[in-house]
Chains A and B, each alone.
Chain A
Amino acid sequence: SQWGEENLQALSIQEGEDVTMNCSYKTYTTVVHWYRQDSGRGPALIILIRSNEREKRSGRLRATLDTSSQSSSLSITAAQCEDTAVYFCATRDMGYKLTFGTGTSLLVDP
């Protein structure tokens, strides 16, 4: 899981497997962003889920949001080699910024 002072989590799976990454946040948020970051590049948004949504899908991606437990998850179905990246969740705090989690490094082996 991501957040707080946890170190970057690393996952290694085989192509075709499903994988789920979890994110816990500490303060109330109205939106959870999920970004992926490829080596040498800036993060790119893959899914944005709002507090009035419990689940959101985009292709092989599925995000969930549980505001009562202040947690979100990102699942990838039938992972492919090109899904190899670092994945971050980010939440909107009471100020004017997003706060990012510690990240999950996903390696998908062929």
Chain B
Amino acid sequence: NSKVIQTPRYLVKGQGQKAKMRCIPEKGHPVVFWYQQNKNNEFKFLINFQNQEVLQQIDMTEKRFSAECPSNSPCSLEIQSSEAGDSALYLCASSLDRGGAETLYFGSGTRLTVL
């Protein structure tokens, strides 16, 4: 069973508001992934980290998304100015391997609703 902890479980924001969610990866897992899952169950990779270093991220040209995984603190994903299209389930996963060769352990997600 996954021990990845995501908070909050639900998040409701108005358009233009900041939305921040957190993730505590499984102990000993150096790699953290963030995915966005829309209402059609489609996954969109956002970013991943190995320890505190960004490995890969999508072209966040809108610069509304930011993420970090500081040492000895939960990882976080923040949307600076929420839009209706950001409404989705945000999934955090951790793994022993940075390349996807090993299991990803997912949290239960943060469901963001932007009104």
B residues near A96, Cβ cutoff 8 Å: 48, 55-56, 98-100
A residues near B103, Cβ cutoff 8 Å: 33, 45, 48
Knowing that A97-B48, A100-B42, A103-B42 touch, tell me 12 more A-B residue pairs with CB under 8 angstroms.
A35-B104, A40-B108, A42-B107, A45-B104, A45-B105, A48-B102, A88-B41, A95-B56, A96-B48, A96-B56, A96-B99, A100-B43
Closest to B54 in A: A96
Cross-chain contact B104 with A98 (CB below 8 angstroms): yes
Interface of B is mostly: loop
Give B114 Cβ to nearest chain A Cβ, in Å: 20
A residues near B93, Cβ cutoff 8 Å: 42
A41 to B2, CA, bound (A): 11
Residues of B within 8 A of A (CB): 2, 4, 6, 33, 35, 40-43, 45, 48, 55-56, 91, 93, 98-109
Interface residues on A, range: 20 to 34
- Name the contact of B106 in the complex, choosing from A8, A44, A93 (C-beta under 8 A): A44
Interface of A is mostly: strand
Cross-chain contact A92 with B99 (CB below 8 angstroms): yes
Closest to A42 in B: B106
- Report which residue of B33, B40, B42, B43 has the largest number of chain A beta carbons within 10 angstroms of its beta carbon: B43
**A70 within 8 Å of B (CB atoms):** no
B residues near A95, Cβ cutoff 8 Å: 56
